[in-house]
């Protein structure tokens, strides 16, 4: 072996040594993991490459949410017929949605469709028997329908569920007053006013029942 051949052999040995050392060191780039983002997804690219920034898509409202919003907008404008149409459609989408049923009952009361209002509030109670607002609303509907025994029952149940809520006592007092039960009405108006002194109507009724009207 000539001196030149020996030199080539040594050079080749060094190259192979360096190649295999790099190969097995784990420092070479690996397919699929040669880039690891160091920033949150929405910041990839950042200032240097804004075209590479990832944006988050806006979440589109569901059809039910759209119908509820349509109903709320219609109520705000005083268009109860339009609100009724939107809520009827919402009930087709989900007939057991309490938010929809509450709105439907309210709108039906506004247009004097008391039978449907009654059905909505009864449906809510069947889904959640502890919904005090549904009991109070149903009591008001039953009173308008002349079903006084049921009205009193649901008024009392709403108060039992939330005794610190002044409107429950005030609504019950109104029913008692209409039934001619003046002493009981006075007691309930007084309780409502004790719980919420901003209820001016309660104060007026207290004065009226006590004969203190100006």
The pLDDT tens digits for 86-137 are: 999 999 999 999 999 999 999 999 999 999 999 999 999 999 999 999 999 9
The pLDDT tens digits for 8-17 are: 556 566 565 5
**Domains of the chain in sequence order:** 62-128 (1.25.40.10), 152-214 (1.25.40.10)
The pLDDT tens digits for 34-91 are: 444 444 444 444 445 555 555 666 778 899 999 999 999 999 999 999 999 999 999 9
CA atoms within 13 A on the CB side of 23: 6
Q: Is pLDDT at 7 greater than 80 in this prediction?
A: no
Q: What is the pLDDT of residue 31?
A: 44
Q: What is the pLDDT of residue 78?
A: 95
Instruction: List, in sequence order, the alpha helices (H) in the chain.
Output: 3-24, 63-76, 80-93, 98-110, 114-127, 132-145, 148-161, 166-178, 182-195, 200-209
Q: Is the pTM of this model over 0.75?
A: no
Q: Is pLDDT at 186 greater than 90 in this prediction?
A: yes
């Amino acid at each position: 072996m000539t001196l030149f051949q020996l030199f080539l052999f040594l050079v080749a040995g060094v190259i192979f040594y360096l190649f295999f050392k790099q190969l097995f060191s784990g420092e070479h780039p690996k397919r699929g993991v040669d880039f690891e983002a160091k920033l949150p997804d929405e910041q990839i690219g950042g200032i240097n490459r804004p075209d590479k920034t990832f944006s988050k898509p806006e979440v589109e409202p569901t059809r039910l949410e759209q119908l509820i919003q349509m109903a709320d907008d219609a109520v705000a404008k005083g268009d109860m017929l339009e609100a009724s149409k939107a809520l009827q459609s919402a009930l087709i989408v989900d007939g057991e949605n309490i938010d929809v049923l509450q709105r439907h009952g309210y709108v039906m009361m506004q247009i004097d469709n008391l039978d449907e209002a009654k059905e909505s509030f009864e449906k809510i109670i069947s889904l959640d028997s502890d919904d005090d607002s549904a009991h109070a609303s149903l009591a008001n509907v039953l009173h308008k329908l002349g079903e006084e025994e049921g009205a009193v029952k649901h008024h009392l149940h709403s108060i039992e569920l939330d005794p610190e809520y002044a409107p429950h006592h005030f609504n019950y007092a109104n029913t008692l007053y209409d039934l001619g039960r003046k002493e009981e009405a006075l007691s309930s108006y007084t309780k409502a006013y004790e719980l919420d002194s901003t209820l001016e109507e309660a104060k007026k009724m207290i004065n009226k029942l006590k004969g203190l009207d100006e």
